A and B are shown apart, each in its own frame.
Chain A
Amino acid sequence: MSFAALDLVPLLAAMLACLACGLLGNLLLLTRQSLLGDAVSHAVLPGIVLAFLVTGSRDAAPMLAGAVAAAFAAALLVGVLTRAARLSPQAAMGIVFSGFFAVGVVLLETGVGRRVDLDLDHVLLGQLDTLVWPAATGWASLLDPDALAALPPELLLIGAVAVAVPLLFAALWKELRLLAFDPDFAAVTGFAPRALSALLLAALAVACVAAFWAVGAILTLAALVVPPVVARLLTRSYRAQVLVSAIVALVMGAGGVLLAGVLPAALGQDWAVSGAGMVAVVGGVLVLAARLAARESG
């Protein structure tokens, strides 16, 4: 089968998922909240699984609703634990997201009837290789409305998120920058840091769901932290930080999928390694390169 049928969708899915997560990840990096990315990507699992179990389908809307609800429930619990149990935020987050993830795993494996084919392996490692596009006959299918209608719904979801996040940044550019730099000043000047933080948490949960399909729950963290870290090592202004992180995200997604599948195929091998894993590995190489480049320039 052709490249368009087998590999195009995973390629796009990985690139767009990394883009959505990488952009949001900048705000986590600049506020020293990378752990929150780890937490949310784990905490959304029970929300997603419950949505499946309740609706019996892989429709995007209930899944997103479940994920956002789970993320907010987790954030609420973290707040309660930090205040009431006098735990450090780090410890509270660890307890909450481990607990949520464990609930998600148990629901998944013992869910009533296991009605939807969501595999534990896919949860951990993504399911890029299942995102095939049988209706495609070649690159021309990109212009064929019938073929486009048959695209895997996961890609459409990821695509929508990958468009929404940059729009969010564009619309709230100065507001998000202020929120990250000085939330107290944002509060005093009436820029509603609490509402914006809630919006960002929802956006983060949505982006984690999008990335979940591409790279699984654990490697979503790579998509969230690697592009911002590379950009941070290479840039000094906020605008450059955001732009470079977007480019790095696209490169990371594309590089990972291409190296994982396309390269062995081109060398005549008939197996492929984990696409999600390769995305993270390519990310690691980019971080290494950026770190060396940063040290060179002093």
Chain B
Amino acid sequence: MWEALTFQAGHNAAVVAAGCIAFGLAAGAVGCFVLLRGRALIADAAAHATLPGVAGAFLLGLALGLDPRALPWLLAGGGLTASLAVLAANALARGGRVKDDAAIAVALSVSFGLGAVLLSVVQALPVGGQAGLSGLLLGRAAGMAEADAWTMAAVALVALAVLGALLRPLSALLFDPLQASLAGLPVKALDVALLGLMLLVVLAGLPAVGLVLVVALLIVPAAAARLLTARLPAMAALSAGFGAGSAHLGVAISAAAPGAPTGAVIVLVAVAVFALALLASPRRGLVAALRRRAALLAAARAAAR
């Protein structure tokens, strides 16, 4: 594990680590905006809805004679179905009878079900490569191909670049949505852009973290950063750092203990970081809050006497 952490475990492992770190940076940075804008649930739905696209792309690739396991091809399929699922959720909630949370939950579970059906078709076929598909459920960094790691890194860096370009309008939107729309910012377009960024991050995370748990990497590092600072630039930087650190450490641990799926280990590292921040944060941490609350309680009791 130490070798993996310090990039000494071989060229392939180093590239995989780099890809995961790139993903972690993007997930943390984009995650700030997802968290603060309350889009965690729809990110989860999009992640689960990549499954039918990934399995469908595999089947289509077989039928067309392409390499069905090529990661960019699979991710393209996943991105397509994820986008459709988000649109379907919006369409279902239009009209007001079905609220947003229920509509998103329907989209999430039905698309995952469709994905499960297609996955079972893939698994019934006498073709190799299915293991690669089920690795996208919970992540598998061990044995990841170098090309896949480069794909991860590429998608993550695109997301970071787009985020950088939209940083100022997105920050304004977050700070005060009403003010932003009055100032002429295209709020709807920005929200769509944020969904797009979120989708890119989800796709980048599929090989290492898997679609079931990737949403955690969007919210946990951001939540940890929020406990430590209220200023958006610092929060985004801190969150990106936490994301990258969790991914890197998680992959290294997972390589040393190959039983557990990588995604689960990475998430647990991120949660541990969050827990530390929660306990220790001087402003918003648990210890500080309990102390303030105790003081307030004592004062109230004294006043009542």
Query: Beyond A277-B116, A280-B116, A284-B113, is A90–B38 a contact (Cβ under 8 Å)?
Result: yes
Chain B interface: which of A5-13, A26-34, A154-162?
A: A26-34
B35, B95, B216: the one within 8 Å of A295 (CB): B95
Tell me if B95 and A99 are in contact (CB < 8 A).
no
Residue interface bits B253-291, CB-to-A below 8 A is 1, else 0: 000010111011101100100100010000010100110
The residues in B between 113 and 135 inclusive whose CB is less than 8 angstroms from any CB of A are: 113-121, 124, 134
Tell me if A225 and B117 are in contact (CB < 8 A).
no
Tell me if B44 and A99 are in contact (CB < 8 A).
no
Residues of B within 8 A of A121 (CB): 134
Residues of B within 8 A of A34 (CB): 99, 101-102, 104-105
Asked if A144 CB lies within 8 Å of chain B CBs, one says no
Asked if A94 CB lies within 8 Å of chain B CBs, one says yes
Chain B interface secondary structure, helix, strand, loop or mixed? Answer: helix
A91, A102, A260, A279: the one within 8 Å of B263 (CB): A102
Complexed CA–CA distance, A272 and B116 (Å): 12
Residues of A within 8 A of B116 (CB): 124-125, 219, 274, 276-277, 280
A197 to chain B, nearest CB (A): 18
The residues in A between 202 and 232 inclusive whose CB is less than 8 angstroms from any CB of B are: 218-219, 221-222, 224-226, 228-229, 232
Asked if A243 CB lies within 8 Å of chain B CBs, one says no
Asked if A265 CB lies within 8 Å of chain B CBs, one says no
Q: Which range contains the number of A residues in contact with the other chain?
A: 35 or more
Asked if B219 CB lies within 8 Å of chain A CBs, one says yes
Tell me if A277 and B120 are in contact (CB < 8 A).
yes
Q: Which residue of chain B has its CB nearest to the CB of A295?
A: B95
Residues of A within 8 A of B41 (CB): 35, 38, 90, 94
Tell me if A98 and B109 are in contact (CB < 8 A).
no
A101, A110, A219: the one within 8 Å of B112 (CB): A219
Asked if A109 CB lies within 8 Å of chain B CBs, one says yes
Complexed CA–CA distance, A295 and B98 (Å): 12
Tell me if B108 and A281 are in contact (CB < 8 A).
no
B254 to chain A, nearest CB (A): 10
Asked if A106 CB lies within 8 Å of chain B CBs, one says yes
Residues of A bordering B, CB below 8 Å: 29, 32-35, 37-38, 80-81, 84-88, 90-91, 94-95, 98-99, 101-103, 105-106, 109-110, 120-121, 124-125, 218-219, 221-222, 224-226, 228-229, 232-233, 260, 271-274, 276-281, 283-284, 287, 291, 294-295
Residues of B bordering A, CB below 8 Å: 35, 38, 40-41, 44, 48, 91-92, 95, 97-99, 101-106, 108-110, 112-121, 124, 134, 137-138, 212-213, 215-216, 219-220, 223, 226-227, 257, 259-261, 263-265, 267-268, 271, 274, 278, 284, 286, 289-290
